Amino acid sequence: MPASWPNSETFWHNKRVVVTGGGGFLGSHVVARLRDRGAREIMVPRQADYDLRDLQAIRRLLRDAGAHPAVGSNGSQPSAATSHPELIIIHLAARVGGIGANRAHPAEFFYDNLMMGVQLLHESWRAGVAKFVVAGTVCAYPKFTPVPFKEEDLWNGYPEETNAPYGLAKKMLLVQSQTYREQYGFNSIFVLPTNLYGPGDNFDPESSHVIPALIRKCVEAQARGEEEIVAWGDGSPTREFLYVEDAAEGILLAAERYNRSDPVNIGSAFEISIRELTETVARVTGFDGRIVWDTSKPNGQPRRKLDTSRATEYFGFQAATTFDVGLQRTVEWYRRHAAAPAPATLAQQAA
């Protein structure tokens, strides 16, 4: 570890941390790791208390977290007396879902994600927050990005149509992060996690991503004695999947060690076709029936695989969990919790 990098075990001891989305899938793992690192003051805002689409709710959240506006309308920068060097915001709150949910709610996916992020980052700068961490999305990349996706290719085309509103809303936070650093010196960073999976994922059939959707289909087909499951598309697209605990570790390493606004991919460097993925999920769950491909449904982006060298170089992140191990843990978790109510399907800033 380079001498310039802070020690993860001591970095958080004197910090106050706000984790938006800290009750959701990724956020709950980030909060658990913060506690493991010794963070003593962690605030997880709930949607019922702080609707992050509402400006007044954001200002109230920052006041409750101990920050107060330090910047006037003239844009003057925070002074040492009014800044809050111990307060860090990790912004994970998002309205998320699979292809079906994105197609059904494109305006809401755009508006909710944009308004939550843009206003929160702006008010955090005004309040003198020490650091603002934004979790972007691999959906921000152009539809036909050369593989592996490099951060410098982010602007070389339009995102895949089915999730473009979501991807572009998140992408605007990158622009905001960079411009606020350039003009105001605000320490905000932007990381781009790839597709996540793992224990605690959203298994709701109306809004889940591909891995939890396939796990649920296979397990329920077994339970009902059905001889086939239906999968969307033709199985040809590829995806990179990152185990959620690895994603949480990458985000915290970036928060500790990275202080630039250039975007950074966080991924596993493991690419698998949807067809092979579906067959693997069927094998791990024990489903031995037929897989029927519904080619009337969209495939989504043709390929996704990230270049993760920047994350390794800038803050020492490398994924630690193999796909086979992560998938087995996810299936086991779902079998234990299959009878529990499904998580909230839309505004996952709280769970």
In the chain, the DSSP E strands lie at 16-20, 41-43, 84-91, 129-135, 188-193, 195-197, 228-232, 238-243, 264-266, 271-273, 290-294
Beta bridge partners of residue 293, listed in sequence order: 231
The three-state secondary structure class of 61 is: helix
User: In whole angstroms, what is the distance from residue 255 CA to residue 158 CA?
Assistant: 29
Return the HEC string of 168-212.
HHHHHHHHHHHHHHHHHCCCEEEEEECEEECCCCCCCCCCCCHHH
3-state secondary structure of 159: strand
| First-to-final CA distance of the chain | 36
Q: Would you state the structure tokens that stand for residue 90, as one six-digit string?
A: 């990790």
- Burial of 39 per CB tally in 10 Å (0-12, 13-18, 19+): buried
305 and 148 Cβ atoms separated by less than 8 Å: yes
Q: Which of 50, 141, 166, 314 is catalytic?
A: 166
Residue with structure tokens 């929160």? Answer: 120
Q: Does 197 participate in catalysis according to the annotation?
A: no
Task: Tell me phi and psi for residue 185, to 5 degrees.
Answer: 75, 25
Which positions are catalytic?
166
